[in-house]
Structure 1
């Protein structure tokens, strides 16, 4: 794996590298950081995450970027909103929280050790859920308030079908906006991966992409 990454880093005909995660926990960060940051189309190297935190991002993780694109497309202004993110990974929760804070949202991150979610989530204007384990968590209609915006990033499989984190039927009765699974955030993630690949090509070739 290391040899392959190094070979792709040196190959001038390759403009984007994506390491499929999860990897074993003890090697995931080190392997991810072996990718040339200019070819890091997933935006997950420490270099690119650092630029995002600093406020000068280049390659941004694809799922958070896709959610921001959806916010813009549907004219959802999160300025002053209370936003809940049920995820704390480098892939979704952490970078998304930064992007939304730059838009002046008040962001709260929930995770596997968080308590009383059913009660707390009712207070939020926007909820992004990326749990991916329906045996442990399903977002239901009685857990959200009227007019909420819901972004479902979770993926679970059962009986040959793909499901999200959200009980779509009950939550859609209250939500002003809701993304389906499949067909919601997932396609936007792929689209942003392609966008990042174009950006990476421009960065490598020193082309002004603005």
Structure 2
């Protein structure tokens, strides 16, 4: 088999951000509406700070308003909920994102539940989960699975119907919404997880494999069916033999690219899609809140 095509998430995300920026410009000039994204960061987690900085920069580049609220590590749940409520009631804010993880004194679920579902650009609110699972077009979809679906549809020319897909991982953030999105695309979907009896056997039957399990290089190339398309959501930092560290996915890239027909690299595959889809969700939310049909991106 020829070596797998590398699915360039970085290039696709750049194109998506350009399309979002064009639609934002149109919304401003035709309707006088500038979408606004508010991000709340609690504490000093270094990785979260980098994410928030990147989100803010890309929000502004897309022509949207970016609001950042930094709260101290010892912020009470009550104070955080009050800030969420203030943003729920602010008509200039179309999207609200609370950066996870939160400090231990705060109940994440209570905070996510307090966000107005129509402004929940992470797509984690139970109302949006329900909308997605019932096939409603009104909901906001979690960014990472949305990005994975866009990459797959682009690769397959828009039609995934009839494909057999295996999603490895059952998290609320990736695995479960990924299952629902693939189902909506008329795939036959299996969700595999830590209790799956014979994971290599399940994977060997799949036309599409989405790995989102958080274990470095767990999925081996010889598990794959010849010509499978592999979407690797994992981002794991491992030690290099010569010292230092490197990023790898949940799939053993070197062996997988010998069997797959296409595969996302780590880094540069799914990762860049997450923020691009966050911007797309903010645009969608702004349109829906103003009774305007959201553009197809």
Normalising to structure 1: TM-score of the pair?
A: 0.91
Mapped contact 2:236–2:249 kept (Cα < 8 A): yes
The 3-state SS of whatever aligns with 1:182 is coil
Residue 195 of structure 1: aligned partner: 280
Match of 2:123 among 43, 46, 57: 43
Residue 50 of structure 2: aligned partner: none
Structure 1 residue 22: Cα displacement: 4.0
CA distance in structure 1 between the partners assigned to 2:97 and 2:271 by the alignment: 16
Task: Give the 3 Å change call, closer, same or farther, for CA 15–142 of structure 1 in structure 2.
Answer: same
Residue 75, structure 1, aligned to residue 156, structure 2: yes
Normalising to structure 2: TM-score of the pair?
A: 0.66
CA distance in structure 1 between the partners assigned to 2:290 and 2:183 by the alignment: 32
CA distance in structure 1 between the partners assigned to 2:221 and 2:215 by the alignment: 18
CA distance in structure 2 between the partners assigned to 1:203 and 1:80 by the alignment: 31
CA distance in structure 2 between the partners assigned to 1:202 and 1:160 by the alignment: 43
Q: Structure 2: which 5+ residue stretches go unaligned? A: 1-79, 239-243
Residue 19 of structure 1: aligned partner: 98
- Cα distance per residue 1:129-187 (max 9 Å; x no partner): 011222xx611111111100100001111243221111111100111110011111111
- Cα distance per residue 1:47-88 (max 9 Å; x no partner): 111111121133111111111111221125332221100111
CA distance in structure 2 between the partners assigned to 1:38 and 1:152 by the alignment: 29
Residue 141 of structure 1: aligned partner: 221
**What is the number of residues matched between the two proteins?**
208
Q: Structure 1: which 5+ residue stretches go unaligned? A: none
Residue 69 of structure 2: aligned partner: none
The 3-state SS of whatever aligns with 1:173 is helix
Structure 1 residue 89: Cα displacement: 1.5
CA distance in structure 2 between the partners assigned to 1:132 and 1:171 by the alignment: 17
RMSD: 1.9
Match of 2:169 among 87, 91, 98: 87
Residue 63, structure 1, aligned to residue 148, structure 2: no
Q: Runs of 4+ in structure 1 displaced over 4 angstroms?
A: none
Residue 42 of structure 2: aligned partner: none
